[in-house]
Amino acid sequence: MASSAGQPCVIPAGPHIGSLGIVRPLYGPLRPCLSPPTRSSRPNGLIRVLGGSLNMALRSLIVLSLLLAATGSSAEQPTFPLLQDGGPRTAWVSGNYRTCLQRQRASAENSLLTTSELGGFCLCYGRALADATNGDELEAVGLGDVARIPQSFYKKMQRASEICWARMSPSQQPSEREKLIVTTKNQCRREYHPEDTDAAAAIVREKFCGCFAEAVTESSKQKMSPREALNYCSQKL
């Protein structure tokens, strides 16, 4: 499989995570708690998904975030209302997550990826787009009027997608250790409560797997065994 930019999008399977001695935590499922389409989708399709998924609560949060961002700022300077954690940013990321996941799962390009891996992409995508979206773009999306959404937003959607696929691809990493970290993190995504697919579960999974991958690939003196890393990272959730 390849993206529209010609970059590979299949995540190498690597050794099965079980072969590293990783076992699932002995506790129940994660607590349950809007979003990019497939990479080949056209811009209008992207916006229909995004705009169509904005419920009234999210629209109200967008309006509030715009008002707060405008306070004390110059009209000439673009504002980025979704940079701060909580409130509108959380609604933006988690609200788009479900639609993103549905569209990614429906794409034949992603047939070799698990739902939990696609969830990692959707979470990354929502966060990356939240970081880049300015107040004017956010207002246009909140209105749900495709004609008013600037081309800059389409470009940011594409860029966010490219960034997140690259982050999940070992071959895109600059060093052998970073390739190993990404491979291990992808394995962890497949194994750590894959049955929990909502946004809250994805957030916990990404935090755990990031911790785990770093812990088991550290230098020889600091490197943890899979069992040690499991206990350590579980405590940090």
Whether the predicted model's global pTM rises above the 0.95 cut = no
* Tokens of residue 19, six digits: 């072969």
* Tokens of residue 34, six digits: 């809007």
pLDDT value at residue 224: 92
pLDDT in tens, the chain (237 residues): 334 333 322 322 333 333 333 333 322 222 222 334 444 433 333 333 444 444 545 555 544 454 444 444 445 556 899 998 888 899 889 888 888 898 999 999 899 999 999 999 999 999 999 999 998 898 888 887 788 889 999 999 999 999 999 999 999 999 999 999 999 999 999 999 999 999 999 999 999 999 999 999 977 678 899 999 999 999 998
pLDDT value at residue 172: 94
pLDDT value at residue 169: 95
pLDDT value at residue 166: 95
